[in-house]
Chain A
Amino acid sequence: MAELSVGDQVPELRAAPDKYLPHRYAGASGDFNPIHIDPEFAKAVGLPNTILHGLYMMGLVARANNELAGGDPRALKRLSVQFRGMGAPETEIVVTGTVKSVEDGTVVIDTVAAQGENQTIRNAEAEVAL
Chain B
Amino acid sequence: MAIKTEAVGKEWPATTYEVGKEKIREYATVIGIENPVHFDREAAKAAGYRDVVAPPMFCVVYSAPALAPAMFDPDVGMNFAAMVHGGQEFEWGEPACSGDEITTTAKCLEIYEKDGKGFYVFESNSVNQNGDQVARGTWTNIVRGV
Contact = CB atoms under 8 A, between A and B. Distances in A.
Interface of A: 15, 21, 24-25, 27-31, 45, 54-56, 58-60, 62-63, 66, 71-74, 76-83
A74 B48 CA distance: 11
Interface of B: 23, 26-27, 29-35, 37-38, 47, 53-57, 60-61, 64-65, 81, 84-92, 95, 138
A78 B64 contact: no
Interface SS majority for chain A: helix
Contacts of A73: 35, 37-38, 53-56, 95
A120 B82 CA distance: 18
A19 to B, nearest CB: 14
Contacts of A54: 85, 88
A29 B54 CA distance: 13
Contact of B56 (A15, A30, A79): A79
B53 A59 contact: no
A55 B33 contact: no
Contact of B64 (A15, A31, A59): A31
26 contacts: A28-B26, A28-B30, A30-B65, A31-B64, A59-B31, A59-B55, A62-B31, A62-B56, A63-B55, A66-B33, A71-B34, A71-B35, A71-B37, A72-B37, A73-B55, A73-B56, A73-B95, A76-B56, A77-B92, A78-B91, A78-B92, A79-B89, A79-B90, A81-B89, A83-B84, A83-B87
